[in-house]
Structures are given as structure tokens and as C-alpha cells.
């Protein structure tokens, strides 16, 4: 399995619901049976569910016997004791003077950011005075939420070999349940094309070997920065890459546009300054179109590009037939995913870079078990393409840490560029280029097919000659449920 990156978008953890454990416990699916450790004459049967929502502890009576308003309840939070009785916190909806089924106790509290590491759980104890017995005893875990954003800038986007570049990484806490966070770890691994010189951290320390910047305390709206200086050693260090092109050959393209597309691809492959011919790139080309039935077709099965074959492959692609017909985009994406994955060169170390080239909108629904589609409408076509995109992500185990990406070139005045940006390219959030150097997940919008040749050359140069720098939130004591601002990417391109 390819390595997976940290996922901070786990919303469920914020409202974890737990059945409170007791001093002596028998747990079933439906209830807790409580036995007093004070040797009462009777047993109390009660089910209480506890959860923390934001900065409120909520205890809900979910079945069993009612409890009196004078039942003492104690809370221990981060070493601090709070003692109340049920009456102090109960929302007595039926006004019966008892804690009854469906009624809740709500205990508001606050986090102390300077003591945050001790906020692991809330320990709760309640004693039923009527029976002189413990009816609740146990913890509810805490998962405080705080939004942390990461940004990166560089003083020179277009350096030459030998230049020294200076990266500035800024980390900001935007708040949440708590006005800050602790034990924040930001990760930036310096690419092989760069040579580390030094670093200056406003807060904490940066370890160049691990790429971790440790920040002990980050307060809300008090951003802190790390400056890293590095020397440009080379461009074009490409790990083994599986490049796949998915071409829209539907009716909207027309023969003239198809020829412009193919000519642009041919010239880009032939250009060794932007497309490696050293055996480190494997190329797959799929097109989708036709109407008998609409389907995806392989124009070039996975082929390693080297000095002896690149010219012939480029010319063969230039000569492929225009398919025309409908636009089964989902079928083309699925075929591409299967060809790349089932190729013998796929492994956890290979890089996958996929480019969709289209000027229109999908209009076919995928037929399960095939690479064909049936003409439907735009809504079904979009849904089918989105499902295929998820299939590709899972099939190829796309990994942002591995610099995998799914980009697009949208040509013309009427492609649904916002849909492609928000629902097709990966990783998210996508963005519209130019500029090109904000990292993966880009949609290059080209107004005319006459400009496609320059766009595909820019894309290949970015993928294979650029120096990709990614910084991201690696870990923190708090939970971050807004992942879109947790990372940033800058691509350095050689000065022409």
C-alpha cells in the first residue's frame, strides 16, 4: 500500500458519544447495570450517554430509573474539581422534578490553552442519595477543535542553478473551542533539487533531517514564521512517473480542434527540455468519445519513454483517428485508472500524474463492468465522472505526499471549469491557472485551441522540471476540521 498522509478532517471525533463506565459495570448494547460500591439494599438501572460538543459536556438520560434533583454530580477537568447537583444543570423538560428519559444535563466549561495538555477527558461521578449508591463513574474524552492555517511564500519563483532562495512559512491559529493549540508540528521536507543552508524559527525549532518544525504553543491570531534558506542544485530530478493523458474526443472537439490537440502533445513529447527521454516517464494515453457505443479507448498502452522511441510515439499519437460522438468522461477515467494500476511498473514508489484535456461537458452514464457509456444528460454525465474520479483516487492510491496529482486543461469558452476545479481535479482545493506554481490540483483554462500547444508545454515543464515544495500541518494537540488551509505548495520553475 502506498503511504497515506494525515487526515485532520475527522468531524465525528468532535462529538464522540460514549456510555459512561461505572464503578462496577455490566455493559450491554442497550443499557448499563449499576451496582453500588456502598452496599445498598437495591440496584439502580440507568443508561446515561455523555458527549462533548464544543465547550459543553452533555449528559443525556437514555433509559432506566429516574434520578432526583438533589443527586450530587462531580466533574474533574484538567485537575480542577467542580461539584454540583442535578438540579443546577438539568433541562427539566417535563417539570416532574426528576432526571427522566430524554432529559439532558449541560455543563459548560472553558479550555485553558496554557494548561491544554491536561485536557484529556472529563471524569464524572454521581451518587444517588436515595439509594446511597454510585450511579455514574467514568470519563468522557475531550477533543478540542482549533483551526490552524499554513502558508508558504518564496522570494524567487524562477531561480537559476546556484541561486539561493528563501522560503517563509507562516502558521496561524484562527481559534475554535480553544484560543490556540499546543504541540503543533509543521512538516516541510526540502526537495532533493535544493541544498539546505539554514533556518530561523520565530517560535520553536526546525529539524532539517525530519522536516518537522515543532511549535510548543500557538496562540489565536498570533501567527509565527519559519524562514528556510536553500541553494538550487539542479532542476528536473524526476522520480519514476506514470503519466496518463485522458483526451476528450467527443463531437464538440471537431477534427480541426482534435488535430491542434494532437499536434501540441506531439511537440511537447518531442521537447526534451520539458519532457524527459531518460526512461523515467511511462506514458499512457486514453481518449473517450464515439457513439456506437460511447466508450473509452486506449491510444497508447503504458510505455516507457526513452531516447530511442519518443519521436515515433509522438508521431503515432499525432496520427490517431478522431473518434467524435458523445462524451463518456467517466468511462475514460476508469479505463485510465485500470491501465495505470495494472501495469507492472505500479508500486508505492512510483508517481502518478494524470491530465484530463477537454473542451466540453460529460453527457454519458457509465455502464458497470465496461468502459462504455450510455447517452444521458449533463447531470448524469457529471455524476458518472465524479464517481470515476473517486474510483481513480482509490485504485491508484493517490497520495499527496508522493506528489501524485490529477490536473486538467479546459479549452474554449464554455467548459464547466468551476465543476472541474471543485469536483474533478485532485488534490482539493483545486485552482484555476495561470498562475501555474501553486501546486497540484490545477485547471489550466485555455480560451482557444490555438493556445493549447503553449498550455501543454507549460504543464509538462511544471510536472517534470519544476521543484515542488509542500508544507503541511503534520500534527497538533487540537483537532482541525478545516483541512483546506492545512497545507500549501510552491513550485519553482527554471528561469528561461
**Res 50: pLDDT:** 87
The answer to whether the beta carbons of residues 144 and 177 sit under 8 Å apart is: yes
* Residue 364 and residue 251 in one domain: yes
* Residue 285 and residue 407 in one domain: yes
Segments forming the whole domain that contains residue 207:
146-235+472-492
* Residue 122 and residue 153 in one domain: no
* Residue 161 and residue 284 in one domain: no
The x, y and z cell numbers of residue 430, run together, are: 483545486
Report which of 104, 177, 172 is spatially closest to residue 143, judged by C-alpha positions: 177
Q: Is 478 within a domain?
A: yes
**Res 89: pLDDT:** 93
CA distance 168 to 315: 44
Q: Is 432 within a domain?
A: yes
Q: For the purposes of burial, counting CB atoms within 10 Å of the CB of 267, is it exposed (0-12), middle (13-18) or buried (19 or more)? A: middle
Measured between alpha carbons, how far apart are the two ends of the chain, in Å? 39
CA distance 281 to 306: 8
* Residue 309 and residue 434 in one domain: yes
**Res 9: pLDDT:** 38
* Residue 295 and residue 247 in one domain: yes
Q: Is 269 within a domain?
A: yes
| CATH at 259 | 3.40.50.410
CA distance 223 to 267: 46
The x, y and z cell numbers of residue 154, run together, are: 518564496
**Res 10: pLDDT:** 37
* Residue 436 and residue 481 in one domain: no
| CATH at 38 | 2.60.40
Q: Is 2 within a domain?
A: no
pTM attached to this predicted model: 0.79
CA distance 261 to 473: 39
The answer to whether the beta carbons of residues 322 and 248 sit under 8 Å apart is: no
Total residue count of the chain as it appears in this document: 496
**Residue reference for cell 484562527:** 174
* Residue 281 and residue 390 in one domain: yes
**Res 437: pLDDT:** 72
**Res 396: pLDDT:** 96
**Res 42: pLDDT:** 47
**Res 189: pLDDT:** 95
* Residue 457 and residue 476 in one domain: no
Pick from 141, 167, 198: which residue ends a domain?
Answer: 141
Pick from 118, 141, 164: which residue ends a domain?
Answer: 141
Report which of 472, 467, 485 is spatially closest to residue 157, judged by C-alpha positions: 467
The x, y and z cell numbers of residue 172, run together, are: 496561524
The x, y and z cell numbers of residue 272, run together, are: 526534451
**Res 38: pLDDT:** 28
The answer to whether the beta carbons of residues 348 and 386 sit under 8 Å apart is: no
The x, y and z cell numbers of residue 250, run together, are: 467527443
The 10 Å Cβ neighbour count of residue 271 is 15
**Res 36: pLDDT:** 26
List the pLDDT tens digit at each of the 496 positions of the chain: 454 434 433 333 333 333 333 322 222 222 232 322 323 334 557 788 888 999 999 999 988 888 889 889 999 999 999 999 999 999 988 889 999 999 999 999 999 999 999 999 999 988 776 666 666 677 899 999 999 999 999 999 999 999 999 999 999 999 999 999 999 999 999 999 999 999 999 999 999 999 999 999 999 999 999 999 999 999 987 789 999 999 999 988 789 999 999 999 999 999 999 999 999 999 999 999 998 899 999 999 999 999 999 999 999 999 999 988 999 999 999 999 999 999 989 987 899 999 999 987 899 999 999 999 999 989 999 999 999 999 999 999 999 888 899 999 999 888 899 999 999 999 988 999 887 777 789 999 999 999 999 999 999 998 999 899 999 999 999 999 888 899 998 999 887 6
**Res 107: pLDDT:** 93
Pick from 113, 141, 169: which residue ends a domain?
Answer: 141
**What is the gyration radius of the CA atoms in the chain, in angstroms?**
29
**Res 291: pLDDT:** 84
> How many distinct structural domains can be found in the chain?
3
* Residue 227 and residue 280 in one domain: no
SS (H, E, C) the chain: CCCCCCCCCCHHHHHCEEECCCCCEEECCCCEEECCCCCCCCCEEEEEEEEEECCEEEEEEEEECCEECCCEEEEEECCEEEEEEHHHHECCCCCCCEECCCCEEEEECCCCHHHHHHCCEEEEEEEECCCCEEEEEEEEECCCEEEEEEEEEECCCCCCCCCEEEEEEEEEEEEECCCEEEEEEEEECCCCCEEEEEEEECCCEEECCCCEEEEEEEEECCCEEEEEEEEECCCCCCCCEEEEEEEECCCCCHHHHHHHHHHHHHHHHHCCCCCCCEEEEEEEEEEEEECCCCEEEEEEEEEEEECCCHHHHHHHHHCCCCCCECCCHHHHHHHHHHHHHHCCCCCCCCEEEEEEEECCCCCEEECCCCCEEEECCHHHHHHHHHHHHHHHHHHCCCCHHHCCEEEEEEECCCCCHHHHHHHHCECCCCEEECCCCCCCCEEEEECCHHHHHHHHHHHHHHHHHCEEEEEEEEECCCECCCHHHCEEEEEECCCC
Evaluated on CA atoms 290, 292, 295, 297, the torsion sign reads negative
Q: Is 1 within a domain?
A: no
* Residue 384 and residue 432 in one domain: yes
**Res 253: pLDDT:** 79
**Res 169: pLDDT:** 98
| CATH at 165 | 2.60.40.1170
Q: Is 6 within a domain?
A: no
Q: Is 11 within a domain?
A: no
Q: Is 5 within a domain?
A: no
* Residue 75 and residue 177 in one domain: no
Amino acid at each position: 500500500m502506498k503511504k497515506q498522509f494525515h487526515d485532520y478532517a475527522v468531524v465525528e471525533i468532535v462529538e464522540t458519544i460514549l456510555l459512561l463506565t461505572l464503578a462496577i459495570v455490566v455493559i450491554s448494547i442497550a443499557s448499563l447495570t449499576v451496582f453500588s460500591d456502598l452496599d445498598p439494599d437495591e440496584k439502580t438501572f440507568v443508561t446515561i450517554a455523555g458527549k462533548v460538543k464544543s465547550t459543553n459536556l452533555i449528559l443525556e438520560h437514555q433509559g432506566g430509573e429516574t434520578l432526583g434533583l438533589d443527586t450530587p454530580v462531580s466533574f474533574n477537568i484538567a485537575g480542577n474539581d467542580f461539584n454540583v447537583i442535578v438540579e443546577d444543570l438539568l433541562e427539566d423538560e417535563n417539570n416532574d422534578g426528576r432526571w427522566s428519559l430524554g432529559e439532558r444535563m449541560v455543563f459548560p466549561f472553558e479550555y485553558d490553552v496554557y494548561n491544554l495538555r491536561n485536557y484529556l477527558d472529563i471524569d464524572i461521578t454521581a451518587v444517588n442519595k436515595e439509594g446511597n449508591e454510585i450511579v455514574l463513574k467514568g470519563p468522557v474524552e475531550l477533543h478540542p477543535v482549533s483551526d490552524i492555517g499554513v502558508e508558504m511564500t518564496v522570494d524567487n519563483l524562477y531561480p537559476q542553478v546556484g541561486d539561493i532562495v528563501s522560503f517563509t512559512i507562516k502558521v496561524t491559529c484562527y481559534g475554535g473551542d480553544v484560543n490556540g493549540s499546543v504541540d503543533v508540528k509543521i512538516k516541510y521536507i526540502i526537495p532533493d533539487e535544493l541544498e539546505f543552508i539554514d533556518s530561523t524559527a520565530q517560535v520553536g525549532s526546525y529539524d532539517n533531517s525530519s522536516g518537522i518544525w515543532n511549535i510548543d504553543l500557538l496562540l489565536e491570531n498570533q501567527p509565527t514564521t519559519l524562514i528556510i534558506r536553500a541553494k538550487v542544485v539542479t532542476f528536473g530530478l524526476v522520480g519514476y512517473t506514470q503519466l496518463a493523458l485522458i483526451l476528450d474526443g467527443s463531437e464538440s472537439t471537431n477534427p480541426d480542434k482534435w488535430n491542434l490537440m494532437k499536434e501540441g502533445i506531439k511537440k511537447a513529447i518531442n521537447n526534451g527540455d520539458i519532457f524527459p527521454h531518460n526512461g523515467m516517464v511511462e506514458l499512457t494515453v486514453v481518449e473517450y468519445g464515439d457513439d456506437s457505443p460511447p466508450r473509452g479507448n486506449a491510444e497508447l498502452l503504458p510505455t516507457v519513454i526513452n531516447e530511442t522511441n519518443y519521436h515515433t510515439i509522438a508521431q503515432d499519437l499525432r496520427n490517431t483517428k478522431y473518434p467524435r460522438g458523445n462524451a463518456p468522461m467517466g468511462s475514460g477515467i476508469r479505463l485510465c485508472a485500470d491501465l495505470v494500476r495494472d501495469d507492472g511498473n505500479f508500486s508505492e514508489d512510483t508517481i502518478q500524474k494524470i491530465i484530463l484535456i477537454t473542451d466540453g461537458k460529460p453527457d454519458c452514464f457509465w455502464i458497470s463492468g465496461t468502459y462504455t457509456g450510455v447517452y444521458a444528460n449533463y447531470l448524469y454525465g457529471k455524476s458518472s465522472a465524479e464517481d470515476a474520479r473517486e474510483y481513480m483516487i482509490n485504485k491508484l492510491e493517490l497520495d499527496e505526499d508522493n506528489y501524485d496529482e490529477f490536473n486538467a486543461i479546459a479549452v474554449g469558452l464554455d467548459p464547466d471549469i468551476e465543476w472541474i476545479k471543485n469536483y474533478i481535479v485532485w488534490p482539493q482545493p483545486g485552482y484555476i491557472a495561470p498562475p501555474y506554481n501553486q501546486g497540484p490540483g490545477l485547471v489550466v483554462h485555455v480560451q482557444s485551441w490555438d493556445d493549447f500547444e503553449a498550455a501543454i508545454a507549460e504543464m509538462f515543464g511544471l510536472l517534470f522540471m519544476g521543484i515542488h515544495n509542500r508544507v503541511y500541518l503534520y500534527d497538533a494537540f487540537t483537532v482541525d476540521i478545516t483541512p483546506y488551509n492545512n497545507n500549501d505548495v510552491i513550485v519553482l520553475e527554471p528561469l528561461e
